[in-house]
Amino acid sequence: MTTNHLLRRDIPPLNVLSDEEFENLKHNYHSCKVMRNEVLYHEGDNADSVMLLVEGKVKVYKEGIGQREQIVKLAKANDFIGYRAVMAGEKHSASAQALEDCTVIKIPKDVMFNGIKNNFRLAHYIIKSLAVELSFSRYRSVTLAQKQIRGRLAESLLVLRDKYGYSKGNTLNVNLTREDMANLSNMTTSNAIRTLSNFVNENIIEVHGREINIINEPALERISQLG
């Protein structure tokens, strides 16, 4: 559903655009509301625009054997989505789905390429974002392969903390299903449920439905470090 959601000049990286570039963008974009669980793009789709998440949270995932998902990226407000495929001139190598209601700005790839060509600060922002994502992906691929179940789930909870922060007290500011927790941690849903219950019994976290409170961060960090 398309909406007339206005561009905000204070949204990174729009804040690095010149007045002329910003005016050009205002005439060459559209924004849309994406409902919770709605798919923004599927693996194999053509990448014809860069998406900037203005509001909400998104998961990027790949489907493996038996259609089992592996979450490879989490996005929040001011994050780009699907831009790697645009930069590489490839089809999307993963799918993106809204974890909650979102507002997304879609910028045509020719507009983005023109901005990168003429604005060093924008180019630097894109390169830095890609570099940070690559570093994180490499780190996660190693830890998910080497850590035991407890270490993987502990790390995933810390990833959620670092990405989304807390909404109140020590409650994670994101509500994932148990299946998503498992797909983020490279384990079965039953193992994710069992390990979460163990953390509750050890007074490391509290669970209220999909809400998770981290009540002993040092213990969680220690489990993640030990693997």
Would the CA dihedral through 146, 150, 153, 158 be positive or negative?
A: negative
Q: What is the pTM of this model?
A: 0.90
Domain 2-143, CATH class in plain words: mainly beta
Out of 1.10.150.130, 3.90.550.10, 1.10.10.10, 3.40.50.800, select the CATH number for domain 148-226: 1.10.10.10
Distances (CA, A) of 19 to 9, 25, 50: 10, 10, 20
pLDDT in tens, the chain (227 residues): 444 445 778 888 888 988 888 888 888 898 899 999 999 999 999 999 999 999 999 999 998 877 788 999 999 999 999 999 999 999 999 999 999 999 999 999 999 999 999 999 999 999 999 999 888 888 888 888 889 999 999 999 999 999 999 998 899 999 999 999 999 999 999 999 999 999 999 999 999 999 999 999 999 999 999 87
Beta-sheet pairing, 69-75 with 102-108 = unpaired
Judge contact between 102 and 55, C-beta under 8 A.
yes
